[in-house]
Chains A and B, each alone.
Chain A
């Protein structure tokens, strides 16, 4: 069965510093991996996805994620955090042949001025 783990409930970072939000996954085949962001009282917004190819994926708002097959990880990164990046971030996985997403429990990112 597919599963996703986001080991940190909350990540705190100062504005201007680099940020990392961690995600590890488990699938039986090749994974499709996604990151979504949720602002208060809003639905989820797509940030980026890994399907195949280059292990470094670039997405919206300056975010990027690195796919590491040996570590089964897909960490979200940004070189310089903004206060406006403060939100809830979800990692999700699905397998080839399936269209259902399995989500992690979410990580709250708090960027302080």
Chain B
């Protein structure tokens, strides 16, 4: 069966520090991969999605970037964190046809202080 792993579960970082969040998927090939962010008490905002290795689409201009170095690995990065980058970051995957049936990881709660 397919599983999705996200780490770390929680992270506290100072303003101006770099960020790297990793997401990996097991049990499937060529998944579509997604990064979402959820601010406290709000809905999810799609940040990036990827349909293949090295293919990244950005939904919202921001301080973050994403990379997909391997088929089942998706990385969210920042060179310098801002206070506004705090939130709950979620990675998800879907198949090629049913893109809107997405399976989410457990999330990373990031606090930028």
Chain B binds chain A: no
Task: Give B contacts to A, CB under 8 Å.
Answer: none
Task: Give A contacts to B, CB under 8 Å.
Answer: none
